[in-house]
Amino acid sequence: MVIIMNADATAENIKNVIEAIQDVGLTAQIMEGAQQKIVGVIGDKSRMGSLAIDAMDGVEKTVEISKSYKLASREFHPQSTVVDVDGVKIGGGNLVVMAGPCAVESREQLFEAADLVKKAGAQFLRGGAYKPRTSPYSFQGLEETGLRYLAEARERTGLKIVTEVTEVEAVETVAKYADMLQIGARNMQNFRLLKEVGRTDKPVLLKRGLAATLNEWLNAAEYIMSEGNPNVVFCERGIRTYETYTRNTLDLSAVAAIKHLSHLPIIVDPSHGTGKWRMVKPMAFAAVAAGADGLMMEMHPNPAKALSDGPQSLTPENFSQVMQGLQQLSAFLHTSGLEITTL
């Protein structure tokens, strides 16, 4: 952090700022500009927590120069991380696909979806049992019953289960059934929830917040990791912009940026990212070309009858076509050397 002093700051003002910094065990370094003096702060910035430097006499502003996230940053951990979800590896060149309905609606619906997901070659079954719906009158999910169906579908197919947890009180229950805990866009800055999943031993799929900056997203991962859980996978799912044609604006540049800033894997969800099933295939292909470690896609045995997100859900036929295309694309990228690995 650097502290920029006012042009008319007195020697006494500067001395007070330096003393405040030294009092919390940090080192201050003065840089003399033509007009202003700048005080550089060196050391563990968490010690600055108790100081209100901006409020001190003679201070114009404080500017952060180092990143506030550490455990999630590539600076701190140059080697890319591979997250192992009970034997399925995310990162390290494997293209992982998580697919299934938006919500678990019934045992029959889920089993039908699970069989199709397995047959098409994906590794994870997705499906919400706790649904964070915009309207309180919309289908809210089957909760623990839905989790039981997911666990049964795992028994039936061998697919891993990824499912959302929306509240602190449900973390223990969801962790009992799921292989991977999903933090949804609406909860990306629910810090108590982030800490709670950080205390479990289950890998976490961290979706990008509805309007989150990359810095906020990386700090959300830091919340989870700082509680002792190193297994975090990012999921870009679009952000809100002024565009209304699509449900969200899928930010594929986030794939390249996150790979540069962090060692953690990142997957892309073109279903929530666009809100339109027709756009899922092109955006899925583009995500893989951009270097994504995997995809999350919604597929429903009968999208027209889906209780949520039907318009963005692939039919079984379309899903299996997308999967075939993805296999060809990733094989081509791999053999041609066009695969994006380091940034």
Q: Residues interacting with ligand PEP, by CB under 6 A?
A: 102, 128, 132, 164, 184-186, 207, 237, 272
Compute the least distance from the CB of residue 98 to Mn ion, in Å: 12
Compute the least distance from the CB of residue 248 to ligand PEP, in Å: 8
Measured from the CB atom, is 128 or 203 closer to ligand PEP?
128
Nearest to 202 by CA among 219, 177, 221: 177
Compute the least distance from the CB of residue 264 to ligand PEP, in Å: 17
Structure tokens at 214: 């990359």
Among 164, 196, 236, 309, which residue sits at the site for Mn ion (rule: CB under 5 A)? Answer: 309
Compute the least distance from the CB of residue 322 to ligand PEP, in Å: 17
Place of tokens 């951009």: 290
**Would you give the distance in Å from CA 254 to the centre of its chain?**
10
Measured from the CB atom, is 40 or 132 closer to ligand PEP?
132
- Contact between 227 and 204 (Cβ < 8 Å): no
Contact partner, 207, from ligand PEP, Mn ion, none, Cβ < 5-8 Å per class: ligand PEP
**Which residues lie below 8 Å from residue 320, measured CB to CB, with a gap of 6+?**
116, 119, 120
Measured from the CB atom, is 72 or 296 closer to Mn ion?
296
Contact partner, 237, from ligand PEP, Mn ion, none, Cβ < 5-8 Å per class: ligand PEP
The radius of gyration computed from the CA coordinates of the chain, to the nearest angstrom, equals 23
Contact partner, 279, from ligand PEP, Mn ion, none, Cβ < 5-8 Å per class: none
**Would you give the distance in Å from CA 4 to the centre of its chain?**
34
Instruction: Give, as one character, the DSSP assignment of residue 312.
Output: G
**Which residues lie below 8 Å from residue 339, measured CB to CB, with a gap of 6+?**
93, 291, 330, 333
Measured from the CB atom, is 43 or 310 closer to ligand PEP?
310
Compute the least distance from the CB of residue 171 to Mn ion, in Å: 20
Measured from the CB atom, is 17 or 183 closer to Mn ion?
183
Q: Is 80 helix (H, G, I), strand (E, B) or coil?
A: coil
Measured from the CB atom, is 73 or 163 closer to ligand PEP?
163
205-233 as b/e, with b when 16 or more CB fall inside 10 Å? bbbbbeebebeebbbbbbbbbbeebebbb
Is 162 among the residues that bind Mn ion (CB under 5 A)? Answer: no
Measured from the CB atom, is 102 or 287 closer to Mn ion?
102
No. of helices (H) and no. of strands (E), the chain: 10, 14
Contacts (CB under 5 A) with Mn ion, residues 90-109: 102
Structure tokens at 156: 């039936």
If binding means CB under 5 A, how many residues of this protein chain bind Mn ion?
2
Give the type of residue at 301. Answer: P
> Residues in the site for Mn ion, rule: CB under 5 A?
102, 309
